[in-house]
Structure 1
Amino acid sequence: MRAPWGDAAASTASSSPTPRSHDMANPASSARRCARATRGGTSDGSITRPSHGAPVRGNRVRHSGGAARGNRSAATAPRREEWAAGGHVDVAAVVTDLDGTLWHEPSTVHPRTRSALARLSASPVPVLVATGRRVHSTRAPLAALGVAPPAVVLNGALGLDLATGERFHQGGFTRGDAVVVLDVFHAHGVHPCVYVDDDTHPVRVSATPSTHPEHLADFGAHARVSDLHDVVGDAPVLAFGVLGIDRALAEAVGNALHGVATPHVDRARDYGGFTVTVAPATGSKWDGVAAYCAHHELDPAQVLAIGDGPNDVEMLAAAAVAVVPADAHPSALALADHVVAPAADGGWAELLDLLDIDTC
């Protein structure tokens, strides 16, 4: 599919098959599909190009102004230059975070967002979810919205098709690194949740878990009480996490983990307090996105990503187009090409103003 911003920069030449866009209705189709992302749109679907990089005014998307800011990937620089010049770039896939981005609360998804998700999911542009959630807590609320897209869960540790369970990516910790991370948590008196690739019991907790009681209850039968030292010594660990703890404690754990792993410290929207999620030192959501693109022969330099948190930073930096809600974490806002309304106000639906869906 193709997204309005000037002529898209050519894909980097390689000996591998030419990356193609993915046909959602028929993945095996040889028809080339694309989406064109535009800096502005009108209610009738036509394209408006703001002059001199000015924001699009009115009740829709507001452009953050000029070229993409922050530490952006060199691979997408030509596309960002097209964007800044008021042109267009090709978009091969749309990648979305969930909490704080698609929804404020999964039980109260804005009606405009529901409609936009249905429309985009029915288009030739593949929609990929990238979230810090585990498999079950990703699949269930999306099923309630009538979709089962491919998903990158646990901040990039695992990628799978939610409809079939087929894996397209698996990351995770080395045994030695997992032991070190657990020791850091324990040194601060915190007993984390340990996430493993096990369909029956994907969450392991100690007899005295530190995560919020409601978070623990949400696991239901998916959690198993275990000796966490045995878990990190034996099982392939995908991620660590704890929700709803004191801010000072969360920040202390996060600071201690820098250099050992990739910690993300942020507000715990559902439970109050703060959350600490931990991915491998070299891991991020973008790992799963890149694996999905490789699996489907898509150009990873033609991705539009939308996210709001510190755990979205690598993904936003690598994407050709970074879309960020207005109430996002400052580290995400620093990378925004477009700023949209908060999730609670249906800001996700503004993606439809950026994408001119056609067949090419």
Structure 2
Amino acid sequence: MSATESTTARPGEAAWQPKLVALDIDGTLLRWIEGTGTTSEALSDKVRDAVRRAYDAGAHVVLSSGRSAHSMTGIADLLGIPDEGAERLWIVASNGAVVLRYPPTDVVHEETFDARAAVEKILERRPNVLVAVENRGVGYRMNRPFPEGELGGGENMIATVQEMVAEPVSRVIIRDPDATPEDFLALGRDLGLHGIDYVVGYTAWLDLTPVGVSKASGLAYVCDQLDLEPADVLAIGDGRNDVEMLEWAGRGVAMGNAPEVVQEVADAVTAHVADDGAALELSRWF
């Protein structure tokens, strides 16, 4: 899909309105800072107001990101949801491996895997990469410091790779500031990382997750709890880690800044994040 649809209803369903809105964060709600692998932590008024309209209309707003749980709750606070005394939000973190309720933070579902063999393979090919695993609720454990701001807030601790992957984990981050995304796409293909899934980000950033786990699987878990179907879901995202989510949702919308491979699987493409594309799409329905 290469252009934004102008309709305010899905074909054949003139009265359709999303019952669940799944929103990626970086590059979708928040704008990338040029030349870095980080985003501004400031929401535009248009985006905040559009998300709030969806929430006030009764839609379940679900933040769905590759971020760790502790770096997502602050985004809910910026959006001003949920209302005091209202039902807690559902949040899908770590590319679907962790599902939580907020506030307070309560992890209700987690998928883990044995990452040792995959990490060993990667280190054989790229011994100088940065490696991190989530220290849930606290921050990250890493073999060396990552570029400033890339892992978000929290308390980060230095540890050996062997210590980090000695027990099953929900996600492993591989980062090489001197490489390109294309380098990492080739690395994943060449290594044949069997038994796990991986996704490459905008920079040379590789996320390893349990096989079959994605934002789509995390959202499916949420829908099961809410007695909803994929057809009830509007999902908006911009990254390669959003592909499964956009394919799974009743309406999957790619941001205008998304790579071509992401736009191709979407039902529609909205405007660039710098032009508040998420707000434009939400305004079609709420």
TM tier, smaller? 0.7 to 0.9
1:244 deviation in Å?
Answer: 5.8
| TM-score (normalised: structure 1) | 0.67
**2:112 aligned with 1:172, yes or no?**
yes
Q: 1:331 aligns with which of 254, 261, 274?
A: 261
Any gaps of 5 or more consecutive residues in structure 2? 32-38, 83-88
1:119 deviation in Å?
Answer: 1.8
Amino acid at match of 1:180: A
- 1:336, 1:64 → 2: CA distance? 15
**Highest Rg: 1 or 2?**
1
**2:137 aligned with 1:205, yes or no?**
no
Equivalent residue number for residue 96 of structure 1: 23
* Residue 116 to residue 307, structure 1, CA distance change in 2 (3 Å): same
1:186 deviation in Å?
Answer: 1.5
Amino acid at match of 1:229: Q
* Residue 107 to residue 203, structure 1, CA distance change in 2 (3 Å): closer
CA contact 2:130–2:176 (8 Å) conserved in 1: no
Q: 1:192 aligns with which of 128, 131, 145?
A: 131
Equivalent residue number for residue 86 of structure 2: none
Equivalent residue number for residue 4 of structure 2: 62
**2:93 aligned with 1:153, yes or no?**
yes
Question: Identity across aligned pairs (percent)?
Answer: 27
Amino acid at match of 1:128: V
1:314 deviation in Å?
Answer: 0.6
Amino acid at match of 1:232: V
**2:160 aligned with 1:227, yes or no?**
yes
Secondary structure at the counterpart of residue 164 of structure 1: coil
Q: 2:207 aligns with which of 244, 262, 277?
A: 277
* Residue 219 to residue 111, structure 1, CA distance change in 2 (3 Å): closer
Equivalent residue number for residue 131 of structure 1: 65
- Give the length in aligned residue pairs: 266
**2:44 aligned with 1:110, yes or no?**
yes
Equivalent residue number for residue 181 of structure 1: 118
Equivalent residue number for residue 241 of structure 1: 173
Equivalent residue number for residue 267 of structure 1: 202
Deviations 1:286-338 (A, max 9, x none): 11101111112222332111111110111111111111111211121012222
* Residue 318 to residue 214, structure 1, CA distance change in 2 (3 Å): closer
* Residue 115 to residue 90, structure 1, CA distance change in 2 (3 Å): closer
| TM-score (normalised: structure 2) | 0.82
1:243 deviation in Å?
Answer: 4.3
1:249 deviation in Å?
Answer: 4.3
Secondary structure at the counterpart of residue 62 of structure 1: coil
Amino acid at match of 1:181: A
* Residue 117 to residue 106, structure 1, CA distance change in 2 (3 Å): farther
Q: CA RMSD in A?
A: 2.6
Deviations 1:102-141 (A, max 9, x none): 1213433222112112222222111101100011221123
CA contact 2:140–2:154 (8 Å) conserved in 1: no
Amino acid at match of 1:225: I
